Amino acid sequence: MLRSLVGSEMCIRDSLAGDRFPLVVVGQIIEIKKHPEADKLTIVKVDIGDKQLDIVCGANNIEVGQFVPVALEGAHLPSGVVISSKEIRGQISKGMLCSAQELGLGEDHSGIMILDKSIVKQPGQSLDSYLNNK
């Protein structure tokens, strides 16, 4: 736990050392193509180490080569959302690319959270491991 004293008040932040995000991994974007049935959606192919996933995404701040948080099937996000494989406008999405807000890591929901490539060890690394190296 991270603890700090501010006046006589103690602020405590949950440790990131445990499994805060057990089914959220670091993915590397390897391809982005337009969704054939929706103007504002793309199909993003991400490398998560042991396989590649196609994920339908509505954010416009992503580029090939970037590292992003990928919530895998079965992941429980802080908002209570449980990720599942889902058909979106005729395309199967095998997970979700996440914003900082969706992960409870900040208020920014303007786009996908772009991870610092100098900290990433490899695609498929757990998000917990990435956050502990920051």
Domain extent, residue 77, equals 18-133
Number of domains in the chain: 1
How does the average pLDDT of the chain come out, rounded?
87
Cβ within 8 Å of residue 5, ≥6 positions away: none
Query: Which CATH number characterizes residue 44's domain?
Result: 2.40.50.140
Instruction: Render pLDDT for 70-102 as a digit per residue (tens, 0 to 9).
Output: 999 999 999 899 999 999 999 999 999 999 999
Q: How many CB atoms lie within 10 A of CB 130?
A: 21
Give a yes or no: residue 9 inside a domain: no
Considering Cα of 30, then 125, then 103, then 70, what sign does the dihedral take?
A: positive
Global pTM value: 0.85
Give a yes or no: residue 51 inside a domain: yes
pLDDT of residue 79: 87
As a whole number, mean pLDDT of residues 48-73 equals 97
